[in-house]
Structure 1
Amino acid sequence: MLKYQESILLSKSNAEEVSKSGDLKAICNMLIGLHHVDDFEWAQDFLLSHLSVDSLDVNRSAIYGLASLARVYRKIDRDKFRDAVSKMPSERRSFLAGAIQDAIEDFDIFISN
């Protein structure tokens, strides 16, 4: 059973520190809660950069972080998202297909065109 956890409010410098920590659980929690950072462009680029990390958990968390960012800010750069996803190895994209589709559906729901 999944358990809800409050997001930890982080500054950009704290997020960067956590990202370099090697603590996968902390990194994943940080990515999912990154929508609290008050800089959309920075948060979006930071999350997108984590799609190239060699960890399915980190990739999945970054995808869900991007979906949360879209819900909060009501915008996302779909071209950047598609580009980052297309650069992932095909096997990794296959494993993450559900998360990717969930994010795209959130973009469609929460972003007016």
Structure 2
Amino acid sequence: MTTNNQDRELIELGSKLRLAWAEERQFFASHDEEGTDRANAVYNASAKIVDRIGELKASTLEGFATKALAISWCQAGEPIEFHDDARDGPLAAQLINELLALGLVSQPTSSMHASV
């Protein structure tokens, strides 16, 4: 599968996020400095990468995997839960819409309905 420019950037950002996240975990495991300028800088390094990932459109499995990694970071590696005021909700919604646009999953027809 051919990788487009946005997916190349997504994949590169995924590598950067893994490194930044590892540094973030290491920092917070060895420092009790939450809320300090230093702690905020460590956190913001990852956050900026996640924000950029959210701006790009994925079109390959590697690109989608990078978006999933960003969502996982938003949940501190914990099982995914959606919150209206967090970064993960918009990223998850974008991921679903992009999957639908690629035709990888089909949307229900008008004769189908969701059970409540």
TM-score (norm 1): 0.40
TM-score (norm 2): 0.39
Q: Which has the larger radius of gyration?
A: 2
